[in-house]
Chain A
Amino acid sequence: MVKIKVKLHTILNKYAKGEAKEGDSITLSKGTTLKGLADYLAIPEHMGLIFLVNNLPQDKNYILSEGDEVKAFSLICGG
């Protein structure tokens, strides 16, 4: 298992299911990718997700490690 922290920005907030408030930890199976995290949080595929892990951009196939801090963004979008 790996324990990570997640911050979901703006419109993604509602997908947190109360489990991913800023500062809270989530425990996931070892080998879980960012796509797996999105599935776990029930974020639909079409949201055009952008991830930063430990403040570095990562694509959806990135495998999460213990202590990772994930920020997820989706365009609202426009402007």
Chain B
Amino acid sequence: MNKYSNTQLRISLDTASHKTERINDKILKDYLGGVGYAAQLLYRELEPGIDPLSPANKLVFATGPLTSYRIPGGGSIQLCFKSPLTKVWGESRCGGDFGPDLKRAGYDYIIIEGRSPEPVYLFINDDEIQFKDARHLVGKTVSERTRIIKEELNESNISIMCIGIGGEKLVNIACVMFEDRAAGRGGAGAVMGSKNLIAIAVKGAGNPQPQNKEGFAVALKEARRIVKESETASGFRQFGTIGDMAGNDAAGDWPTKNWQSNNWGKAEELYDHYLANNFVKNSACYKGCPVACGRMVKVDEGEYKTPLHEGAEYESISAFTAFVLNEDVDAAIYSTYLCNELGIDTISAGALIAFAMECYEHKLISQEEADNLDLSWGNSQVLPILVEKIAQREGLGNLLADGVVMAAKKIGPQAEEFAVHCKGMEGPAHDPRSGKLLAVTYGTANRGMCHIHPLEGMAYDSGKMTWDMTSYGVPDPNTLDRWDEKGKGTITKALQDGLIMPDVLGVCKFLMYVGLTLEHYANLLSALTGWQLTGKDLIKIGERVSNTQRLFNVREGIKRKDDLIHQRVGSLPRFGLYHQEERCVIKDYEGMLEEYYQARGWDTATGIPQKHKLIELGLS
């Protein structure tokens, strides 16, 4: 089974060399793994103010102690880095076999340093590390380069994570792909591309054992029982994430037309088209996932024809329908497929196109600057063209490839009204005008405008989900109203510290929706390591991790003003079901933020963690 290997692999691309390093138990006990371990490492090892695309940046591939094929949700890897998109803390998770295979090869982390003079890829085969020429892979699609690497290594049973053309071209929204899955947000692909590292292939034969085999078997059996009996797991399997599209539209949780509204009223129709024409079957992103929320989809014919592939995720399809007012589902599926093949983030890509459409409507982008494309709202034909242009940094795509903040700066001050972001990260497909918790989440998530740090606010605000956090003092959401603001800042802090744990432990967040709790994770972890941990202990570690990431950001210049949300995100929807619904309006965001800071023990004027809090967390 799967305990720590206590080993990290440090790769120097400058010299094509590597070394393995032992990790001391104290750091592991304080940070456990995943985004926690990586936060303390990057805080210690990165100089503040570095250019994220310079050799001085480091890219960490981080597993967690629970990363394993056998643990529900254990097919997971976290990529951590200084983000070229936000210039602050960057992290991005990817589901798939890569994480478990890296553990089997004997490594908890890979730390990528420097820059190779020529494009290379790495082959990690247990303790044998090879640097391979990758010049022939440059310019290829993600599926082509994955196939070629497997062929030339003569290995079918390996896991490969690679960048696409977007990463090679240093597009700030470039991702790192594992087959059809992406470490999508924040520009990890650009960091990897800046290092001339095209791919990492990993193969491992190890089979680490838990400290307490009997205890682990009991904890694992219980976790599996919960997943097996879970109504939510069954829902994920049957409907996938896209199954929530119509419900989110109805709830006002579906940002539309570059956030002009929080719903469109079209999702049901679009979903029905997808179900009738595109959906083939469900799929798992890693071997043995008991949830298998993925969707195998295709477009059979026409200009948007695709092969069978894993796609049509809620976020991706929303970005290429509601964001841009596109009613052609086939075009959305093709565009997101293209994003994956070219290695750019579907969410940011859709958001950037929506931004460009609004700038075009207001004549801030001329016809010539639009490469003579018709950027009218809903014009499905330009979607794949713009995806290609962004990934290739061509024409208008080159302007958009730096992200919405840089693009707005270049276009001029009037464009800022249309550049919806927090800390430079474009907004995803959930809307705080459906429930106010998400507003504080968006403002304070360390990586920027992110809906999953902690987890979707609407899931709590709707009353559906508590993730058992009520056991740790979080109020039952059914005693609150989704439109309430008071209390939401304090609750956000508590949820962030608890629900960061899947990213620390190296498991998929969805398993907490399914019913696994911090207590279940503590039981698994205790049996695995021999440490005695409770859910409460995990929350304290989560708080330490949240603060370490915050310290990283403070050092990069983040202040209270950077925790504010874009005006449009909290304003009255301009059309749709909620266009006259005053309760949607966020009336006192600053009040919620103040509450959040107080709960965090941060200075309310600056947003900087106070000394007493740092001492309490052992961070002073």
Whether B509 contacts A78 by the Cβ 8 Å rule is yes
Whether B459 contacts A11 by the Cβ 8 Å rule is no
A45 to B477 Cα, complex, angstroms: 12
CB of A9 within 8 A of chain B? yes
A10-B247 contact given A78-B241, A79-B315, CB 8 Å threshold: yes
A-B contact count (CB 8 A): 94
CB of B458 within 8 A of chain A? yes
A40-79 vs B, CB cutoff 8 Å, 1 = contact: the mask equals 0000011110101001110000000000000101111111
A26 to B242 Cα, complex, angstroms: 29
Whether A78 contacts B459 by the Cβ 8 Å rule is yes
A76-B239 contact given A46-B464, A48-B464, A50-B247, CB 8 Å threshold: yes
A78 partner, pick from B513, B577, B578, beta carbons under 8 A:
B513
Among A55, A73, A76, which residue has the most Cβ atoms of chain B within 10 A?
A76
Beta-carbon contacts under 8 Å, B209-267 to A: 231-232, 234-236, 238-244, 246-248, 250-252, 265
Which A residues touch B513, using CB under 8 A?
A: 77-78
A56 to B250 Cα, complex, angstroms: 9
Whether A75 contacts B459 by the Cβ 8 Å rule is yes
Which A residues touch B247, using CB under 8 A?
A: 9-10, 50, 73-76
Which A residues touch B240, using CB under 8 A?
A: 79
Whether A9 contacts B241 by the Cβ 8 Å rule is no
Which B residues touch A76, using CB under 8 A?
A: 232, 235-236, 239, 241, 243-244, 247
Whether B465 contacts A77 by the Cβ 8 Å rule is yes
A9 to B245 Cα, complex, angstroms: 11
Which A residues touch B390, using CB under 8 A?
A: none
Which B residues touch A48, using CB under 8 A?
A: 459, 462-465
CB of B313 within 8 A of chain A? yes
Whether A79 contacts B464 by the Cβ 8 Å rule is no
CB of B314 within 8 A of chain A? yes
B464 partner, pick from A10, A57, A74, beta carbons under 8 A:
A74
Whether A79 contacts B478 by the Cβ 8 Å rule is no
Count of chain A residues with Cβ under 8 Å from any Cβ of B? 20
Write the chain B residue with the least CB distance to A51.
Answer: B250
A11-B239 contact given A48-B462, A48-B464, A78-B510, CB 8 Å threshold: yes
A79 to B242 Cα, complex, angstroms: 8
A48 to B476 Cα, complex, angstroms: 12
CB of B456 within 8 A of chain A? yes
B244 partner, pick from A46, A47, A77, beta carbons under 8 A:
A77
A45 to B313 Cα, complex, angstroms: 28
Which B residues touch A57, using CB under 8 A?
A: 250-252, 577-578, 581
Whether A10 contacts B463 by the Cβ 8 Å rule is no
Write the chain B residue with the least CB distance to A71.
Answer: B250
A79-B250 contact given A45-B478, A74-B464, CB 8 Å threshold: no
* CB of A6 to closest CB in B, whole Å: 14
A46 to B467 Cα, complex, angstroms: 12
Which B residues touch A10, using CB under 8 A?
A: 235, 238-239, 243-244, 246-247
Whether B235 contacts A11 by the Cβ 8 Å rule is yes
Among B251, B252, B315, B455, which residue has the most Cβ atoms of chain A within 10 A?
B251
Write the chain B residue with the least CB distance to A47.
Answer: B464
A77 to B462 Cα, complex, angstroms: 11
B424-461 vs A, CB cutoff 8 Å, 1 = contact: the mask equals 00000000000000000000000000000001101100
* CB of A53 to closest CB in B, whole Å: 11
Which A residues touch B478, using CB under 8 A?
A: 45-46
Whether A78 contacts B250 by the Cβ 8 Å rule is no
* CB of B427 to closest CB in A, whole Å: 15
A79 partner, pick from B238, B252, B313, B577, beta carbons under 8 A:
B313
Whether A79 contacts B463 by the Cβ 8 Å rule is no
Which A residues touch B265, using CB under 8 A?
A: 55
Which A residues touch B465, using CB under 8 A?
A: 48, 75, 77
Whether B231 contacts A77 by the Cβ 8 Å rule is no
B462 partner, pick from A11, A75, A78, A79, beta carbons under 8 A:
A75
Known: A46-B478, A76-B243. 18 other contacts (CB 8 A): A9-B268, A10-B246, A47-B464, A48-B462, A48-B463, A57-B578, A71-B250, A71-B268, A73-B246, A74-B247, A76-B235, A77-B244, A77-B458, A77-B462, A77-B513, A78-B236, A78-B513, A79-B244
Q: What are 28 A-B interface contacts by the 8 Å CB criterion?
A: A10-B235, A10-B238, A10-B243, A11-B231, A11-B234, A46-B478, A48-B459, A48-B463, A50-B247, A52-B577, A56-B577, A57-B581, A71-B250, A73-B246, A74-B247, A75-B248, A75-B251, A75-B462, A75-B464, A76-B235, A77-B232, A77-B458, A77-B462, A77-B513, A78-B510, A78-B513, A79-B240, A79-B241
Interface residues of chain A, those whose CB is within 8 Å of chain B, are 9-11, 45-48, 50, 52, 55-57, 71, 73-79
